[in-house]
């Protein structure tokens, strides 16, 4: 899934990438919970919601590179610590930050994602145009 996500972002922004390579990794009724203080915050439901989320992310981020990852727990609930390097489209600012994600897995697919950011205010500020 992380490889497909990286390829999605590398494709170049809104209307340049397809959600199709990501879809098999997610349950049909997946829920993604993003912190409300982020420009892409809120709850995103199902494949249609995730497709809109990824379009919003590609509108905001010029690049979003997945760096070092540490899988802290694997199983029905998995926990992944990911280092991210990103550049905003609106301001051109470069950021580096960690994301800790909990992933609930059902029938081999991601059913729920809860990402935790160290400093949501810094990320939101960097994205303001």
pTM of the model: 0.88
pLDDT of residue 13: 57
The b-or-e profile of 82-112 (16+ CB within 10 A means b, else e) is bebebebeeeeeebebebebbbbeeeeebbb
Domains and CATH numbers, the chain: 2-127 (3.10.450.50)
Tens of pLDDT along the chain (129 residues) come to 777 777 777 776 556 777 888 889 999 999 999 999 999 999 999 999 998 898 888 888 888 888 999 999 999 999 999 999 999 988 899 999 999 999 999 999 999 999 999 999 999 998 886
CA gap 39, 23 in Å, rounded: 23
Beta-carbon contacts of residue 69 (< 8 Å; ≥ 6 apart): 2, 80, 81, 82, 83
């Amino acid at each position: 899934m992380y490889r497909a996500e990286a390829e999605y972002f590398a494709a170049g922004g809104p209307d340049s990438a397809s959600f199709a390579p990501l879809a098999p990794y997610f349950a049909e009724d997946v829920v993604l919970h993003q912190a409300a203080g982020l420009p892409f915050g809120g709850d995103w439901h199902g494949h249609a919601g995730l497709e809109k989320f990824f379009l919003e992310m590609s509108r905001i981020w010029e690049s979003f590179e997945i760096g070092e990852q540490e899988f802290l727990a694997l199983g029905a609930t998995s926990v992944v610590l990911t280092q991210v390097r990103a550049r905003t489209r609106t301001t051109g600012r470069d950021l580096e930050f960690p994301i800790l994600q909990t992933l609930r897995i059902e029938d081999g697919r991601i059913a729920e994602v809860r990402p935790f950011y160290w400093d949501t205010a810094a990320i939101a500020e960097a994205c303001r145009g």
